[in-house]
Structure 1
């Protein structure tokens, strides 16, 4: 891993934003590559999807819509320990997601004047599960359970077709779908899947959705950016990244293992260590030299750790480490220091935060009860991770009776006149004129 030495420098936020490591291919760059793919699906539907499946997945003549019976039958091949783990994940995630559904609130401004704040789920959601270098049944569950907890009535799932599974999505994706009760599943991957959700594909019975969610590579993230506005999106959850703030009290073996755990996802994955101790950084480097070559995906890990998106950043103190982290806006932030709470107090921008040496990111990936679909590429500076809240829209329901409206009418008319919109005020005063005329007619 390369080293970025920021010691002895007083850097502005703008300077930090320019110095933090990033992948060479960003979602912004990838947008121009995926825009034609999205447009092709919008125009030609199934034909475009089949061409893209052949080009990117090496699959042809497969069923784009997976038969519901195939989804249900897939569970027969799920190992019992894996099924038990997936069921436990569902239980824990339902508990964690329930806390994200706000209770309805009623605000009474005066007698007969109230605003009811309710949280209304969207009607239909498209859930994406990656299927490239690895299969992610956990991602299916993260998406599905959050949407179900929010009360979304219609869910569709898409995941790339697999050549070695007869053109169906990966078996593990089907297991998770079955356990979550999702029977509308499509063997569609990448940017094409995002486009299909946004525009619909009538020939395979895929109706457009309201919101598209789920992680993927940088091209999936870019496709979300392209369709955003046609549909809602969760966030641009692209290639994974981890940033660890650690001092010399941390265990270098733990830190090295966590850097590797994210690097094994993808050659473009980002692993970043920010520390105020050069000696600790050297200790982590020694651990990486020992551990990285022994892991199953050693070649992938080596490429990711050696890429420009990964680095060790040396800083003068942990307050500066927090500033660096805020500029980076990590998807996953780990804090392993003598005083994690003090560091946390200075951290504002992160997808999810893992405190202490015994809270690795992989816990959040599976069984922490938190959601692992998180914003990447610095978007955690303004976006949040997936949750039940992703699928909820706050709606205000306003009700005033006659007396309450009368009480506000004079002030309302004054504001309408000031803004040059007299008909706004007249819409109020007309109600009382009509009432007065009726009363006079009765006498």
Structure 2
């Protein structure tokens, strides 16, 4: 079957570098009347429409949008697929949240049909919100992770996920053993890692729920499969940190527990990192590990204020995470809104271009996938989102008042949510459109 080029015309904005490295003026490309050309799932051209259209064959279909903005698909660097059923559950901080909501819900994923129903709903929500790549926590159940990957594969999504490892301090129904965790994880890696766009993450829930033997086993998996990811939680809550110190008194701190067992490497992603020492930041940078900034969850659970400047001063890679279900929205637009407020509470500004960077190219760099996704450069995978800048009458009024690109972008991030997602494209194919079934 012959390949077919397709073109999309709208305003186009994408990040090409971190503002802290190159300055605000050089961190993005913007085409007021732009054109992006796709072939076989990849971007083959991008630029001003008046230039590119002269070179296009008249047989190439062009989709034109009015009052729309095309940008790279959003990248969620920390989210829980089995927690969709407990989003917006009242009144707990981290450890009580796990006990009262998370563990009871995750027990239900032993039922394959329940797991499949929730996986389908999960992917529908991602598409509705313009999220095209995510680093995802599964459950303890091997079968539920198989189902997750099956459904992601059907949709050609770039997803990274793994079976949760827990052999202590959790309900018996949700515990495994170091040996069973090793065997199940190895089987899943061999089946799914690098299958089409899928990738695997070794996933200890967090230090308190894995014994030294299991953490050692997780390090063994990373040595045997050096290109897989490692995904866990770190320094989210002060009581959690005290618990880790009590369980591992021989270690220098929370991060040192993971470090001791060989869990810090290029593809290690630690969710939260709200309460990190200078030494821990240095060690994350030395090992090329990344941190997921999860503002809605940190506020909802009362965990604390993420210190973005501190991590970046140590050159630690940072991406944005929704952390659903403690996070209160699948929308990375809403997540950017809360990130701005967290920075304000620390007397710092978060520029809208920096926010967009964290939710796109910054996320790609945190996952070491910037050669494939994160912006709309030629050769990248064609995951992109079409944003409606006039989704409501309030947006229409506010956009008419906005005088600069930065102001329009800031309005989008402060007021935006899933209503602004007009279309989501995966590898150049439409995966969601406003008003479609499942909207």
TM-score (norm 2): 0.26
Structure 1 or 2: more strand by fraction: 2
Query: Larger Cα Rg: Structure 1 or Structure 2?
Result: 1
TM-score (norm 1): 0.26
